[in-house]
């Protein structure tokens, strides 16, 4: 099956409608990531056959739950989920932060190559990052335990905003360790086409 078909089928299974031009841009990002990954080890995933499922569809599975004007992707690495979300939703202001300058060099180049005017890249440790304005949503994929994720990024969340933590198996033990002044608003099980194993999105808000 071609990557184009795999992406189109996967988006249909997720219930996400994206124009053909956007789908082409997503595949261009996957190809760009693959090219840089050979030199810079941006992601542990080496099998090109898994790029659509594990990079694109896995990131886009949270799109229906991103109800915000601005999004911070913490520990963005190779750009997931931030870049696929930015491509799918051009009106969403996406900031990608990572402390690894090789990774942010890639992210900056990807944003330029793909013409993503809604993406900003920052090289910083998230706990010292001081943006001009806080973010309506903060996401991460396999960045840290939930309590640490909240503690390290609390100063970056706008009032009424939400943390969107991407996890594998449902992290009940981690949820039980969250501080008393935040609450789990929802846990969404994500069925990502082509991805074995469980995927969950944990939505956390301040009380």
Number of other residues whose CB lies within 10 A of the CB of residue 17: 8
Stretch 119-147: mean pLDDT, rounded?
96
Percent of residues, the chain, with pLDDT higher than 70: 100
Q: What's the CA gap between 47 and 38, in Å, rounded? A: 11
Helix extents (H) in 41-142? 58-60, 82-88, 101-113
Domains of the chain: 3-206 (3.40.50.150)
Stretch 13-39: mean pLDDT, rounded?
95
29-67 pLDDT per residue, tens: 999 999 888 887 788 777 888 899 999 999 999 999 999
pLDDT band at 125 (very low <50, low <70, confident <90, very high): very high
Query: Strands of 93-98's sheet, edge to edge?
Result: 119-123, 93-98, 70-74, 135-141, 157-167, 200-206, 182-189
pLDDT of the residue at 9: 98
Percent of residues, the chain, with pLDDT higher than 90: 90
Q: What's the CA gap between 103 and 122, in Å, rounded? A: 10
Model confidence, pTM: 0.97
103-123 pLDDT per residue, tens: 999 999 999 999 999 999 999
Matching residue, tokens 């969950």: 200
pLDDT band at 101 (very low <50, low <70, confident <90, very high): very high
Those residues with Cβ within 8 angstroms of residue 118's Cβ, 6 or more apart along the chain or in another chain: 86, 90, 91, 92, 93, 94
Q: Where are the beta strands (DSSP E) in the chain?
A: 70-74, 93-98, 119-123, 135-141, 157-167, 182-189, 200-206
Binding residue ranges? 75, 80, 126-127, 141
For the chain, the average pLDDT equals 96
Binding residue ranges for S-adenosyl-L-methionine? 75, 80, 126-127, 141
> For residues 41 and 147, which has the higher predicted lDDT (pLDDT)?
147
pLDDT of the residue at 45: 72
Q: For residue 142, is it left (φ>0), alpha (ψ between -120 and 50) or beta?
A: left
pLDDT of the residue at 91: 98
pLDDT band at 75 (very low <50, low <70, confident <90, very high): very high
Of the ranges 13-27, 32-46, 80-94, 145-159, which one carries the lowest mean pLDDT score?
32-46
């Amino acid at each position: 099956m071609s990557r184009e078909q795999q992406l189109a089928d996967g988006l249909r299974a997720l219930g996400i409608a994206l124009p053909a031009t956007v789908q082409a841009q997503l595949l261009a990002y996957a190809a760009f990531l693959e090219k840089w990954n050979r030199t810079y080890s941006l992601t542990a995933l080496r099998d090109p056959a898994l790029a659509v499922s594990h990079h694109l569809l896995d990131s886009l599975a949270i799109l229906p739950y991103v109800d915000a004007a601005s999004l911070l992707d913490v520990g963005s690495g190779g750009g997931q989920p931030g870049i696929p979300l930015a491509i799918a939703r051009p009106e969403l202001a996406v900031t990608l932060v990572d402390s690894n300058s090789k990774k942010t060099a890639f992210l900056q180049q990807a944003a330029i190559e793909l013409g993503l005017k809604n993406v900003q890249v920052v090289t910083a440790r998230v706990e010292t990052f001081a943006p001009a304005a806080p973010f309506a949503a903060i996401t991460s994929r396999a960045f840290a335990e939930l309590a640490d994720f909240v503690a390290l990024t609390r100063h970056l969340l706008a009032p009424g905003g939400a943390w969107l933590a991407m996890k594998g198996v449902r992290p009940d033990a981690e949820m039980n360790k969250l501080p008393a002044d935040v609450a789990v608003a929802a846990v969404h099980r994500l069925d990502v086409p082509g991805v074995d194993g469980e995927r969950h999105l944990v939505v956390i808000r301040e009380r």
